[in-house]
């Protein structure tokens, strides 16, 4: 009788091997951490400059300087987790198809999606996660609004929901490489999508184009719920509208994971071995 693999132990092995590989080239690791941190600090400086001229992002939106820093910290947390655990692997999926590496992945006695999603861990990307936690603490200490205990407790699960939604979009896009060949537009797609996700919902109101964008990126490609729900839990009072959005985020997470799984399995069924 074949013993089922322990997915947690397999992931620990992947993470440990990735850390050993990164530590083999310590200078490169340090440079990557400094580079990504510098980029974040430049963005932070840019928004600090904006708030020196205006009290909030969007007219009467409620997103003042420190509220928006909470929003920005939430964005950084989600992005950092995605870039550390999923982005390097999703980007290499088309190479697995081209080189025949997917053949070996399919032969392993473990779920193929798990294997190709977590094979590598980009440890240097987690530097921004530490910076995000520090920024969150700094902003919360200076806000006039204090989140309730319930809002604080729900923050982490909703951050994980945001990660799950982004991962679902990413793995579904990567799986299309089976049908489309080498899919080298993943980073471009990620940049375009996260551009919409990194701003509060309130800035999209007040115009036909803004309402269209808000509807599309909430109900069709649901990236606006990724950051807005957990960030609002910490930064602003939760009105009835946003509790509805919080419930919608849970449904969206489940649908996104199920949909991406269906696309991935369907793609594998269409896959033809590189040796055939």
Residue-wise pLDDT for 239-250, tens only, equals: 887 889 999 999
Prediction pTM value: 0.90
- Least Cα distance to 165 among 250, 234, 41, 70 occurs for 250
Q: What is the pLDDT of residues 38-55, one digit of tens each?
A: 888 898 889 889 888 888
pLDDT at 1: 44
Task: Label residue 104 exposed, middle or buried (CB < 10 Å: 0-12, 13-18, 19+).
Answer: exposed
Q: What is the pLDDT of residues 253-264, one digit of tens each?
A: 999 999 999 999
Mean pLDDT of 50-64: 83
pLDDT at 251: 95
Q: What is the pLDDT of residues 73-85, one digit of tens each?
A: 999 999 999 999 9
Read off the tokens for 8.
């947690």
Q: Where are the domains of the chain?
A: 23-270
Q: To the nearest 10°, the Cα dihedral for 104, 110, 114, 120?
A: -60
CA 222/CA 214 separation, integer angstroms: 9
Mean pLDDT of 191-209: 81
pLDDT at 87: 87
- Least Cα distance to 226 among 165, 170, 172 occurs for 165
Q: CA angle, 148 as apex, 147 and 151 as ends, to 5°?
A: 80
Q: What is the pLDDT of residues 155-170, one digit of tens each?
A: 999 999 999 999 999 8
Judge whether residue 235 has pLDDT over 60.
Answer: yes
Judge whether residue 4 has pLDDT over 50.
Answer: yes
Judge whether residue 201 has pLDDT over 80.
Answer: yes
Helices 127-142 + 65-85 axis angle, to 10:
160
Dihedral sign for Cα atoms in the order 170, 173, 176, 182: negative
Judge whether residue 187 has pLDDT over 60.
Answer: no
Residue labelled with tokens 């929003």: 71
Mean pLDDT of 122-138: 92
């Amino acid at each position: 009788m074949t013993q089922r693999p322990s997915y947690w132990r397999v992931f620990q092995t992947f993470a440990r091997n990735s850390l050993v590989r990164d530590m083999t080239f310590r200078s490169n690791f340090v440079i990557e951490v400094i580079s990504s941190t510098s980029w974040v600090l430049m963005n932070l400086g840019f928004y600090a400059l904006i708030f020196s001229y205006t009290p909030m992002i969007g007219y009467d939106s409620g997103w003042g300087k420190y509220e928006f820093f909470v929003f920005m910290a939430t964005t950084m947390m989600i992005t950092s987790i995605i870039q550390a655990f999923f982005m390097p692997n999703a980007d290499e999926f088309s190479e697995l198809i081209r080189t025949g590496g997917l053949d070996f992945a399919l032969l392993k006695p473990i779920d193929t999606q798990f294997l190709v999603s977590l094979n590598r861990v980009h440890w240097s990307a987690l530097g921004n996660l530490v910076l995000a936690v520090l920024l969150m603490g700094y902003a919360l200490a200076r806000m006039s609004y204090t989140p309730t205990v319930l809002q604080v407790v729900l923050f982490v699960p909703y951050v994980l929901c945001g990660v799950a939604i982004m991962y679902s979009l990413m793995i579904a896009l990567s799986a299309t490489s089976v049908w489309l060949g080498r899919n080298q537009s993943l980073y471009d797609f990620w940049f375009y999508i996260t551009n919409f996700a990194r701003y509060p919902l309130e800035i999209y109101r007040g115009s036909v184009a803004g309402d269209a964008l808000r509807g599309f990126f909430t109900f069709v490609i649901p990236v606006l719920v990724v950051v807005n729900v957990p960030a609002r839990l910490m930064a602003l009072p939760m009105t009835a509208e946003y509790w509805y959005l919080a419930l919608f985020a849970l449904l969206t997470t489940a649908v996104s994971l199920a949909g991406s799984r269906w696309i991935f399995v369907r793609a594998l069924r269409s896959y033809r071995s590189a040796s055939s």
